[in-house]
Structure 1
Amino acid sequence: MGYTFDFGAVFDRAPELLWGSLGTIWLALAGMALALVIGIIGVAARTSKIRLVRAPVIGFVEIVRNTPFLVQIFFIYFALPLMGIRLNPTVTAIIALGINGGAYAIEIIRGGVESVSKGQIEAGFALGLHKGDVFRLIVLKPALRAIYPSLTSQFVMLTLTTSVCTSIAAYELTSAAQRIESDTFRSFEVYFSVTTIYLVISTLMMGLFALISRHYFNYPTR
């Protein structure tokens, strides 16, 4: 029995896929921003000499990295209302993405921080810089430069992970695709198109990260 390909149904619902793509990009960017904040704060705590400060961060990283994202997002979605906190699916998805990405960001950034020479740090203190300035100017920026490719690769993965957020009814590309597929029964056409869109989004993300790298993390040529 032959199958007749018909992308007409997909083209007719193109506006929905566009809005779904914008939803995916919004979730990804917001999740990345939160993950970066968690990563930087987490590294500051993770490298502390005080064990009571380090231990919770280590535990957080191990729990998040060793449990599925789907379980994490369900836990947040159903646990927060039990504490009297009710958030819409989009906000919940951003929090879950930020927490998941933040755990990986902590370890990636920590590797960069530990690669910074202790001599540079001591030189910063010798110049009279405050501890916060030493961390921000001497430790953090060189560390981010060193781990930028790994960090951005993780963020691209986080962008693709947004597809799981359809499980809590957050509006993004996969949820839009599911609605179209259930109405048209054109599974191949819908998901072929969605695969192409995800590829385009990932390529654009990598191009944006490369542009940021050229402007902010390249060493001066003179």
Structure 2
Amino acid sequence: MNYVFEFSAVFEAWDELLAGLIRTVWLSAAAMAIGLVVAVLGALAKTGGPKPLRWVIDAYIELIRNTPFLIQLFVIFFGLPAIGLRLEADQASLLALVVNVGAYGIEIIRAGIESIHHGQIEAGRALGMRPLQIFRLIVLKPALQAIYPSLTSQFILLMLNSSVCSAIAASELTGAANDIQARTFRSFEVYFVVTALYLALSVMFWGIFAWIERAFLRQPEPR
């Protein structure tokens, strides 16, 4: 083995990697937040909306879950300009991530909503609670507690899927790595460092999700 490992070329371009890292965090966090709203609204409509709306949501879920994310990204970035809607690479990436995670999130949250016993909802009505209060306090929070591990796992996959957005030259971490590799030809070193950065991002997001669970979702300790 005559290959000589040389990481100096990678670390000389650290500012590019850092910019890509920040962009990945921004894309992922924004897609998680917007995707969660889409998932909650979609799950609410699917469990209690009119049939035509449920059919539309079912079609959306099946379409997204049974097609590759890369194709969804290409349709948004290359296909939408055909109907007059042109998006920048980062904008198309964010939209594609939201559309993708929203479909998976709807099914995850729907399962959580349907796990809530109907008697609890009736009890809320008997207490004079408004529909929004019932949904927020009786349905949504216990449902999120039940499906939180699955939902956060999907969010981590979303963050890792953001690497695919480099295919349309989005300015995220993998895109920055590709640029550095093309300039330095240090493939192993570049992608070894990027692998470590993605691992660090995953650990960071897991830590944030664990804090959110402790702060807002964990059941109080019995006395």
The two structures have a TM-score, normalised by structure 2, of: 0.97
Correspondence for 2:57: 57
Provide, for residues 28-85 of structure 1, a one-character-per-residue CA deviation record: whole Å limited to 9, x for no partner.
Answer: 0111112101101100111125211211001100110000000001011122222222
The amino acid of 1:149's aligned partner reads P
Provide, for residues 196-216 of structure 1, a one-character-per-residue CA deviation record: whole Å limited to 9, x for no partner.
Answer: 000000000000100111000
The amino acid of 2:16's aligned partner reads E
Return the offset for 1:134. Answer: 1.2
2:17 matches 1:17: yes
User: Equivalents in 2 of 1:35, 1:164: separation in Å?
Assistant: 18
Give the match's secondary structure for 1:47. helix
Return the offset for 1:16. Answer: 0.7
Correspondence for 2:187: 187
Correspondence for 1:163: 163
Correspondence for 2:147: 147
The amino acid of 2:212's aligned partner reads I
Question: 1:4-153, aligned counterparts within 5 Å?
Answer: 4-48=4-48, 50-153=50-153
Unaligned runs of 5+ in 1: none
The amino acid of 2:35's aligned partner reads A
Provide, for residues 17-36 of structure 1, a one-character-per-residue CA deviation record: whole Å limited to 9, x for no partner.
Answer: 11110011111011111210
Could you tell which deviates more after superposition, 45-54 or 16-25? 45-54
Provide, for residues 115-136 of structure 1, a one-character-per-residue CA deviation record: whole Å limited to 9, x for no partner.
Answer: 1111101111111222222112
The amino acid of 1:153's aligned partner reads S
Give the match's secondary structure for 2:161. helix
User: Equivalents in 2 of 1:202, 1:114: separation in Å?
Assistant: 30
Unaligned runs of 5+ in 2: none
User: Equivalents in 1 of 2:82, 2:135: separation in Å?
Assistant: 39
Task: Using the aligned pairs only, state the percent identity.
Answer: 53
Give the match's secondary structure for 2:48. coil
Q: Tell me if structure 2 keeps the 8 A contact 1:113–1:143.
A: yes
Residues 190 and 124 of structure 1, relative CA distance in 2, 3 Å threshold: same
Q: Runs of 4+ in structure 1 displaced over 4 angstroms?
A: none
RMSD (CA atoms)? 1.0
